Amino acid sequence: MTRQCFEYHPATAFRFIPGVRARIPHESGGYLLRANKQGFRCDRDFDEPRREHIRRVLVFGDSFTAGDGVSNGKRYSDVLETLVRDAETYNFGLPGSGTDQQYLAWNAFGRGVEHDVLVIAVLVENVRRILSRYRRFVDDAGKVVVFAKPYFSMDAQGHLVLHQSPPQASPIAETALSSEERACVDQGGRFRSLRALVRRAGLQSMLQAVTRYQPVPDYASVTSPGWQLMRAILRHWASEYRDVSRLIIMPLPLYQHVEGTAVATPYQRRFAELCSEIGCTLHDPLPDLQRYTREQRRGFRFSVDIHPTPEGHAAIAKSLAPAIQTVLSRVTKLNQQSQT
Mean pLDDT of all residues in 145-149: 94
Query: Could you give the CA distance from residue 258 to residue 316 in angstroms, rounded to a whole number?
Result: 11
With a cut of 90, say whether residue 145 has pLDDT above it: no
With a cut of 70, say whether residue 199 has pLDDT above it: no
| Cα of 153 vs its chain's centroid, Å | 20
Mean pLDDT of all residues in 14-20: 97
Tens digit of each residue's pLDDT (9 = 90 or more) over 101-140: 999 999 999 999 999 999 999 999 999 999 999 998 877 7
Query: Could you give the CA distance from residue 191 to residue 217 in angstroms, rounded to a whole number?
Result: 13
Q: Using alpha carbons only, give the angle 31, 33, 38 rounded to the nearest 5 degrees.
A: 165
Residue 29's domain comprises 6-339
Q: Is residue 154 part of a domain?
A: yes
Q: Strand, helix or coil at 269?
A: helix
Tens digit of each residue's pLDDT (9 = 90 or more) over 287-319: 999 999 999 999 999 999 999 999 999 999 999
Q: Are strands 160-163 and 151-154 parallel, antiparallel or unpaired?
A: antiparallel
Q: Is residue 172 part of a domain?
A: yes
Cα separation values, 182 from 18, 175, 229, Å: 31, 8, 20
Under the banding of pLDDT at 50, 70 and 90, the label for residue 340 is low
Q: Is residue 257 part of a domain?
A: yes
Q: Is residue 1 part of a domain?
A: no
All residues at 6 or more sequence positions from 322 whose CB lies less than 8 Å from its CB, including other chains: none
With a cut of 60, say whether residue 20 has pLDDT above it: yes
CATH number at 224 reads 3.40.50.1110
Q: What total of structural domains would you count in the chain? A: 1
Burial category of 292 from C-beta neighbours within 10 Å (exposed 0-12, middle 13-18, buried 19 and up):
middle
Tens digit of each residue's pLDDT (9 = 90 or more) over 228-255: 999 999 999 999 998 999 999 999 999 9
Supply the pLDDT for residue 302. Answer: 97
Residue 34 burial (CB count, 10 A): 15
All residues at 6 or more sequence positions from 117 whose CB lies less than 8 Å from its CB, including other chains: 55, 56, 57, 58, 246, 247, 248, 324, 327, 328, 331
Query: Could you give the CA distance from residue 330 to residue 122 in angstroms, rounded to a whole number?
Result: 23
What kind and span of H or E run contains 102? helix 99-105
8-state DSSP, 51: P
Longest dimension (CA), the chain: 66
What kind and span of H or E run contains 325? helix 310-339
Q: Is residue 266 part of a domain?
A: yes
CA end-to-end span of the chain? 52
Q: Is residue 85 part of a domain?
A: yes
